[in-house]
Amino acid sequence: EAGVTQFPSHSVIEKGQTVTLRCDPISGHDNLYWYRRVMGKEIKFLLHFVKESKQDESGMPNNRFLAERTGGTYSTLKVQPAELEDSGVYFCASSNEWRTGELFFGEGSRLTVL
Amino acid sequence: AQSVAQPEDQVNVAEGNPLTVKCTYSVSGNPYLFWYVQYPNRGLQFLLKYITGDNLVKGSYGFEAEFNKSQTSFHLKKPSALVSDSALYFCAVRDLTSGNTPLVFGKGTRLSVIA
């Protein structure tokens, strides 16, 4: 069974540019999560999809971040325009049950904004 | 609001010695607790979880964790450390009685096992 896959693994962009991160969850997992880790800090929750609907987007930092999950399958996280403080590792995770099911994480997308 | 504290940024232990990675949590209701491990250039991998029942939870790779409600702690332990255990360890908590709240992570503890 394929795990959670994320693309790209590393992206280097300049301030003001746009980046789109993609996540393919484990097949059949309705729940998809985005998290972010800034160097040395905790892993912070961004948002949670149940199928194609945003269940909780309380962690999205501002309106420069846009997440979508078309058809309840893969998800994209777009940052436009990127700022220096957006640098970090963006993790995607999926689970089959939001309440007690463990999260399965991808390897992360490292974003560097110069 | 729920939160997790991992008081040590780094833990060093000699191979063969017991290891402990500390975690304390804060929730208003009943906690659901996890440990995850991140090896270099890899995603987070699930180690173990506590929902209810026995306070000592056994997980992958010989790790275990003890839930202590009075001390609000969920320390990760292993009786005999291996060099291959060197990695970044994250504790996480969800408040089971507060609706659809996300899993909240600590900032991680880097474990170095020295041969």
Say whether A45 and B4 touch across the interface (CB within 8 A): no
Mean pLDDT of A63-86: 94
Output the pLDDT for position A24: 96
Indicate if the pLDDT at residue A60 is higher than 90.
Answer: yes
CATH number of the domain bearing residue B62: 2.60.40.10
Output the pLDDT for position A104: 93
**How many domains is chain B built from?**
1
Output the pLDDT for position A68: 96
Lowest mean pLDDT among A27-36, A54-63, B44-53, B93-102: B93-102
- Residues of B with a Cβ under 8 Å from any A Cβ are 4, 9, 32, 34, 36, 41-46, 49, 51, 90, 92, 96, 100, 102-108
Domain that holds residue B71: 3-114
- Domain ranges (residues) in chain A: 5-113
Output the pLDDT for position B95: 86
| Contacts (Cβ under 8 Å, ≥6 apart) of B26 | B1, B2, B3, B4, B5, B72
Output the pLDDT for position A1: 63
**Closest Cα partner for A47 from A74, A56, B105?**
A56
Indicate if the pLDDT at residue A99 is higher than 90.
Answer: no
Report the amino acid identity of residue B7: P
**Domain A5-113 top-level CATH class:** mainly beta
Q: Using CA atoms, how far apart are residues A77 and A67, in angstroms rounded to an integer? A: 4
Indicate if the pLDDT at residue A8 is higher than 80.
Answer: yes
State the nearest Cα–Cα gap between A40 and chain B, in angstroms. 7
Mean pLDDT of B67-95: 95
Mean pLDDT of A107-113: 96
